[in-house]
Amino acid sequence: MSLDFGPDRGAQPYPPPPPRPYAPPARREPFGAGQVLSDTISVYVANLVPFTVLTGIVLSPAIGATVLFAAMAQGSEDTAVALGEGIGGLLRIVLQPLATGAVTYGVVQQVRGHHPPLGDCISVGLSRLLSVFAVGLLSGLIIVLGLFAFCIPGLIFMAMYYVAVPAAVIEQPGVMASLRRSSDLTDGYRWSIFGLAIIVGLLGGAAGAFAEMLGVAAGPLIGAILSAVAECVATAFGATAAAVAYYRLRLTKEGVDADQLAQIFE
């Protein structure tokens, strides 16, 4: 008796597996300083009041110290003005990273088409304060040392670490990892980022110079108030530019859109 292991002629063949749905590759868009600047202006203008007010709330202790000592001076004591600026400067070292983190969250939500409450922005900034402060302080120290050394290394570091703070806010990889992440993201686009940083810095400087010019004629108190407004505008605009640049780099190099970035906050 033999066993036949041949094919069963009466059996129906297995149906072929259904075709997999086509998944298009992630959309990539070119990165350029002009595009980032245009997006920054659009996002900031659309959120001019909330972003400026948000920055003002966060920086209010530093601004308050500067304005208070200017009011005490009333043009007669330069020492009081200098003391107020010194105290305000120390407070800004701690508070500016918080403002940057808060604005970064607002930018991500704005790019998605959402308008987050100011309280949510401040809450996110506070939750990332220590890491953002450390990243901002370390990257700033590296940039300053590079500028003092041969100038050019400082400019290179400025471009390398331009998106380190947004990376720390959104990805939370740690201090050194945020710097490495920024270096990786900016690789290949540092000339564009350098140009963007120069333009943003010039705009902020122009706003400050204009406020100072008006303040000279109006007196130290009004001058301090105008300088505070200009500072809030420049800080919010600079933070917006860094956040938009981070978003654009992720979109260009990794195809990650704003909805995917925002998942970290949910």
Question: How many beta carbons lie within 10 A of that of residue 228, not counting itself?
Answer: 21
Q: For residues 162 and 39, give the distance between their C-alpha atoms in angstroms, rounded to a whole number.
A: 17
- Give the pLDDT score at 181: 92
Is pLDDT of 222 > 70? yes
The 3-class SS string of 142-172 reads HHHHHHHHCCHHHHHHHHHCCCHHHHHHHCC
Cβ proximity of 229 and 28 under 8 Å: no
Tokens of 215: 């303040």
Give 65-111 pLDDT, tens digit per residue. 767 766 665 555 566 556 666 676 677 777 777 778 778 877 877 77
pLDDT tens digits, 131-165 = 888 888 888 888 888 878 777 877 888 889 899 88
Contact 237, 200 (CB under 8 A): yes
